[in-house]
Amino acid sequence: MSVHGLCKEENIQLNCKWLPRTANKTADTLSRMSDCDDWAIKQGVFEYFDEAWELNFDIAGIGLQDRVRKIALDSGVKPGSYLDDLCPHMSVLILSSKSDNTNKNYFNAFKRWETFIKSYGHSALPANPIYVALYLTHLLDNGATQHPINSAVYGIKWAHDCLGFTDPTKNSVVLSIQEAARRKVSKTVNKKEPITEEVLIELCSKFQESTDLLIVRNLTMILFSFACFLRFDELSSLCFNDVLIRDDYLVICIRKSKTDQYRQGNEVLISKGDTPACPLSMYQRYLGLIGDVDDKHFFVFRPIFRSKDNCKLIYKNKKISYSAARNNIIPLIKSVVGEVDIGLHSFRSGGGGGATVAANASVDDRCLKRHGRWKTDSLKDGYIVDSVEKRLLVSKSLGL
């Protein structure tokens, strides 16, 4: 408020300008630092008021409830009848066919389309396919990449599907513009450098005697990612009650996964190893440094704060961010292998993550797919790089 008052008094105008993270490293780092005394309103509070006030911006934003009721009445449903009373809940169920995040993304994409086309005096719902094609052309002419084009198409398609209108994105002109966007802005995929078991063993041997909680937490994250083929979101969402310790293996329960749309859950088993890079032993080291865990529903990997010579997990139940994890883990790996192009996804796939190591060790294909939570062979094969020896077997078998 004092800044606002000063600007008003001195007639100062502030304009916001976006800066990429690479050009704003200091401020970006400071913004991601966690204070152990930080406080926040729990998500359950917002969910309570959402339910109490029946807030649903998606239904209101695209007129879904009114559309469903109109279709019902036009089909012979009597106003005020039991069938009429079912319409509001039916609208909610239609949206529930997709996740909340997906609905929000589609809704925002649709609103951008609606704002554009209404400024020229045309209807957004139902949409004329030629106007959709012109909108995509407008986006491309303004430097849009393939992702915004796809988002626009999916958002428009979503709104029309929800309301029972004919989907304009299936029109051949629209499909041609979408395909042109793929060709126009396509880039060569540069996969990250491989992370092998030898690198991890060397890394863990280097810090075998370390009692620094920060180091041990980072090593545990690395080994879990590698051994379970975890995406970062799966790793950061793990709670203490999701990790069960058995005599000679760990049971990791993955409650939320990109490949588990219906939240059925997955269990991944990690065998006890004989090297310093054993995930079970490293996790036990981590628990020993943390001390007693008061709430098993807390996230396993939370931000850490230092108080003098001591390291502790923050008291708030807040998962570690992607940037914080990357800034901690990548330098650790580079301390062993030097300057290489790696990312957090290198542990799951990359040029030689856990999936590749297991595949080249001739692990049963069915078990490999279950461990990596892949439903099809094509998805699994996209994560695996065959070794040179295996690739040479093809030509060797020709007997030349």
Summarised one tens digit per residue, pLDDT across range 232-253 is 888 889 999 999 998 888 888 8
Q: Is 290 left (phi over 0), alpha (psi -120 to 50) or beta?
A: alpha
166 occurs within a structural domain: yes
Task: Tell me the range of 48-52, 185-189, 266-270 where mean pLDDT is highest.
Answer: 266-270
Task: Tell whether 181 and 211 lie within a shared domain.
Answer: no
Contact 144, 116 (CB under 8 A): no
> pLDDT tens for residues 362-395?
556 656 666 666 666 555 555 556 666 666 666 5
- Give the three-state DSSP class for 117: helix
Q: Name the percent of the chain in helix, strand, coil, to the closest 5.
A: 55, 5, 40
Task: Tell whether 268 and 299 lie within a shared domain.
Answer: yes
327 Cα distance to chain centroid:
18
Contact 253, 244 (CB under 8 A): yes
- How large is the average pLDDT for residues 260-267? 57
The position carrying tokens 């049971």 is 251
Rounded to the nearest integer, the mean pLDDT of the chain is 79
- The two three-digit tokens of residue 382, written as one number: 């996209």
Contact 271, 174 (CB under 8 A): no
Which CATH number fits the domain that encloses residue 348?
A: 1.10.443.10
- The two three-digit tokens of residue 397, written as one number: 């078998």
List the single range of 100-104, 175-179, 388-392 with lowest mean pLDDT: 388-392
Range of the domain at 165: 44-185
Last residue of some domain: 185, 220, 241? 185
Measured distance CA(10)–CA(248) in Å, rounded = 70
DSSP 194: P
pTM: 0.57
Which CATH number fits the domain that encloses residue 65?
A: 1.10.150.130
Q: What is the pLDDT of residue 284?
A: 93
- The two three-digit tokens of residue 23, written as one number: 């050009």
Environment class of 208 (CB within 10 Å of its CB; exposed 0-12, middle 13-18, buried 19+) = exposed
pLDDT(288) > 50? yes
Task: Tell whether 116 and 222 lie within a shared domain.
Answer: no
- How large is the average pLDDT for residues 192-201? 78
Helix (H) or strand (E) holding 226: helix 213-228
Task: Tell whether 151 and 242 lie within a shared domain.
Answer: no
326 occurs within a structural domain: yes
Looking at 245-344, list the stretches that DSSP marks H as alpha helix, in order from N- to C-terminal side: 279-290, 322-337
- The two three-digit tokens of residue 34, written as one number: 């966690």
Count of structural domains within the chain: 2
- The two three-digit tokens of residue 339, written as one number: 């300057």
Task: Tell whether 120 and 217 lie within a shared domain.
Answer: no
Q: How sure is the predictor about 15, in pLDDT bands with cuts at 50, 70 and 90? A: confident
Measured distance CA(344)–CA(371) in Å, rounded = 18
Task: Tell whether 174 and 295 lie within a shared domain.
Answer: no
